[in-house]
Structure 1
Amino acid sequence: MVSHSFWKVLRDPLFHFLVLGAGLFFVYSALNGSGDTAAQRIVVDQNQALRLAEQFQRTWMRPPTQQELESLAEEFVKEEILYREALALGLDQDDLVIRRRLRQKMEFINADLVEPQDPSEAELQAYFNANHDRFRQPDRFSFQQVYLNPQNAPGDVKRKAEQLLARLNSKSLPSADPESIGDISLLPYQLDALTAPEVSNTFGNGFAKFIKTAPTGRWSGPYESSFGIHLVRILAREPGYLPAMADIRPVVEREWYTERRKETKDLYYQEMRSRYDVDIRLPDGATAKTLAVR
C-alpha cells in the first residue's frame, strides 16, 4: 500500500516544478543534439581580437590595454553564447523587431548590390526632359495681412473687415502699416516669397486659394483662415519657371539615382519573390470592415 508520505510528495508544487524542468532539459537536449561539439565551440582568434580592438579604438580614440582586450573578448564570448542559446530556444521566431531588423539588413545588402552606374549626359538630359514637372519652380507670393479676431467683434466681423478694407484702399490710409491696425496675433504681418503649400501650412488651404487670385498692389478680402478673418495686400508675384538643367544638375542627378535605385531594388525583389509559392488570402470587404471596427 502506497504510504501517505508518497502521495504528499506527488502533490507538492516543488516536485511538479522539478519534473517540468527535467522534461524541458531533455527536450532541449534532444532538439539541439548535446553531442554536437562544433555548435558549442567558440573561437576568438587574432583576426576577431583585432576587430574588437579596432571597434574600441574608434570609440575611445586609443588602443585597448591587454586587460581591456581580454574583457572585450570575454564580452564577445558572452554575447555569442546568449545569441546561440536564444536561437536554440527559438526566441527569434515571431519577433516583429527581429523580423524588421533582418529585413533592413537584407535591404542594405541589396542596396550595395544594385548600385546603378553613373548616368551619361544624354541619359540625364532625357530624364530631365521627361520629368519637367518635378523640377519646375513654383509660384511665390509676397504679401501683407491684417488679422481680425472674430472673438473681438461681438457683431458681424466680416462687416467690420469690409469697412476697414474700404478705409485701407481710400486716401485716408494710403500707406497704412498693417502692424498698427487689426487685432494682435502671433501671425507675421508680412510674408515674403512663399509658395502656395507654405501659405497653406500657415493659414490653411482655403486661404492659399484666395492668395492665388487676389489682386496685386491693393488690399482685398475679407478672407477666412483657420485663425479668423484677414485682409490681404499682394506685394509681388514671382511666377514659377523651369530652370535649365545645367543650373540644377546635382538635383537632377540625385533624383535620377533615387529612381534608378528604386527600380533596381524592385526588380531584385521580384526576382526573389518568384522563387516562392505565395498564397495570399484576404477577407472579403464585409469581413475587413468588421475587423477594422474592432
Structure 2
Amino acid sequence: MLKEPLFHFLILGLLIYGGYAWLHRGDAPDEEQTIRVGPGELGWLRTSFETRWQRGPTPAELQGLVDEYVRETVLYREALTMGLDQNDIIVRRRLAQKLEFLIEDLAEVSTPTDEELEAYFEAHRASYREPDRITFSHVFLDPDRRGEAALEDASEIRATLEAQADPTQGVSDFGDPFMLQSYYPERTEAEIAKLFGRDFGARIAELGEGRWHGPVLSGYGVHLVYVHEIQSFPQPTFGDFREQVKDDWTAAKRQELNDEYVTRLLEKYEVVIEEPA
C-alpha cells in the first residue's frame, strides 16, 4: 500500500492542508475573538455622550467613543482569560452592586397612600427637623502645658470671667493658644462634634444660654464654654415635606424588596462558617 501513488497523494494533501492551517491559524477568529459594535452599542455610546454634553457626538467623537469601547472590551476579555476577576474584592463588590441595582430597577413599588406617607413621616419625624444651631465661645486649657493643674486653672479662669461686667470680654486673652477658633456662630451639634468630638458636641447641646460652663473635655483638652444663643426651629409638618417623604418612602420600600429578594436567594445556599483550628 505504501507504494500506491494514490496513497502518496493523500498523504501529501494532508500535509499541505495541515501546514496551511497552522500558518493561517489566526486568520479566521472565532466568536470569542470578535468584538461586535452594533446598533445597540452605538446607541448606548451616543446616549451616554448626549447625557454628559447635552449634544450629539460628531463623527470623529463617535469614532473616539467606539475606539475606547473596543479598547476596554479587549482589556476586559483578556483580564477574564487571565483570571483576574477571581478572588478580587473590588470585582466581587461591583458585581454584587450591579445585581442590587438590577433588583431595584425590576422591583415594582406601588404608589403610596397619604396614610402610609403620614405614618412614615411620624416614624421618622426627627430626620425632617432642622437641628438647633448653637453660637458659643470657649477658652482652651492645654493639659500638655498645665498637666493636672488644667482643671483647677479652669475653675479659677471661669470665676474671673463670670466676675466681669461682660462675661465674654477678652476671651482670647485667657487660656492657652488653640489651633482653631475661639468663637463659633450657629453651629449644629453634628458640626461641633466633627471639630471637637462626639462627647463635646453632645455636652454643648445640653448647656444653657448666657453663662459660662465647664470644664468641658474634648480630644484637645479642657474647655470653658459660653453659650451665646441656641436657635431652635419649629417642628416639621407633613405638608411641608410631603414630596420628600414620598421619595424617602419609595427608597425605603425598594430597599425592603431588595432585602426580601436576597433573603429568598439565601434559601438556595448552605452557609458554612469554619472557625480556625
Q: Hey, what's the Cα distance between the residues in 2 that align with 1:49 and 1:201?
A: 46
The correspondence of residues 86-165 of structure 1 with structure 2, limited to 5 A, is 92-153=85-146, 156-165=149-158
For 1:54, the equivalent position in structure 2 comes to 46
Task: Indicate which of 188, 193, 201 corresponds to 1:195.
Answer: 188
Task: Indicate which of 198, 208, 217 corresponds to 1:224.
Answer: 217
For 1:249, the equivalent position in structure 2 comes to 242
Question: 3-state DSSP class of the match of 2:59?
Answer: coil
Task: Kindly state the Cα deviation for residue 113 of structure 1 after the two structures are TM-superposed.
Answer: 0.8
For 1:8, the equivalent position in structure 2 comes to none
Task: Indicate which of 54, 63, 79 corresponds to 2:58.
Answer: 63
CA contact (8 A) 1:147 1:228 kept: yes
Q: Hey, what's the Cα distance between the residues in 2 that align with 1:72 and 1:196?
A: 48
Q: Hey, what's the Cα distance between the residues in 1 that align with 2:35 and 2:197?
A: 64
Q: State the TM-score, normalized to the length of structure 2.
A: 0.68
| Greater CA drift, 43-52 or 219-228 | 43-52
Closer, same or farther in 2 for the Cα pair 1:265/1:92, shift >3 Å?
same
Partner amino acid, structure 1, of 2:161: L
Ranges in structure 1 where 5+ consecutive residues have no aligned partner: 1-36
Task: Kindly state the Cα deviation for residue 244 of structure 1 after the two structures are TM-superposed.
Answer: 0.7
Aligned length: 248
For 1:13, the equivalent position in structure 2 comes to none
- Say if 2:266 is the partner of 1:283: no
The correspondence of residues 19-98 of structure 1 with structure 2, limited to 5 A, is 39=31, 42=34, 44=36, 47=39, 50-51=42-43, 54=46, 58=50, 62-64=57-59, 69=63, 92-98=85-91
For 1:22, the equivalent position in structure 2 comes to none
Q: Hey, what's the Cα distance between the residues in 2 that align with 1:116 and 1:172?
A: 63
For 1:18, the equivalent position in structure 2 comes to none
Task: Kindly state the Cα deviation for residue 75 of structure 1 after the two structures are TM-superposed.
Answer: 7.5
For 1:27, the equivalent position in structure 2 comes to none
Q: Taking every aligned residue pair, what percent have the same amino acid on both sides?
A: 31
Q: Hey, what's the Cα distance between the residues in 2 that align with 1:111 and 1:273?
A: 17
- Say if 2:242 is the partner of 1:271: no
Task: Kindly state the Cα deviation for residue 77 of structure 1 after the two structures are TM-superposed.
Answer: 6.7
Q: Hey, what's the Cα distance between the residues in 2 that align with 1:175 and 1:90?
A: 67
Closer, same or farther in 2 for the Cα pair 1:244/1:283, shift >3 Å?
same
Task: Kindly state the Cα deviation for residue 152 of structure 1 after the two structures are TM-superposed.
Answer: 4.1
Q: State the TM-score, normalized to the length of structure 1.
A: 0.65
Task: Kindly state the Cα deviation for residue 87 of structure 1 after the two structures are TM-superposed.
Answer: 5.5
Task: Indicate which of 159, 175, 178 corresponds to 1:185.
Answer: 178
Closer, same or farther in 2 for the Cα pair 1:89/1:241, shift >3 Å?
same
The correspondence of residues 160-179 of structure 1 with structure 2, limited to 5 A, is 160-171=153-164, 174=167, 176-179=169-172
CA contact (8 A) 1:142 1:235 kept: yes
Partner amino acid, structure 2, of 1:184: P
Q: Hey, what's the Cα distance between the residues in 2 that align with 1:76 and 1:239?
A: 54
Ranges in structure 2 where 5+ consecutive residues have no aligned partner: 1-28
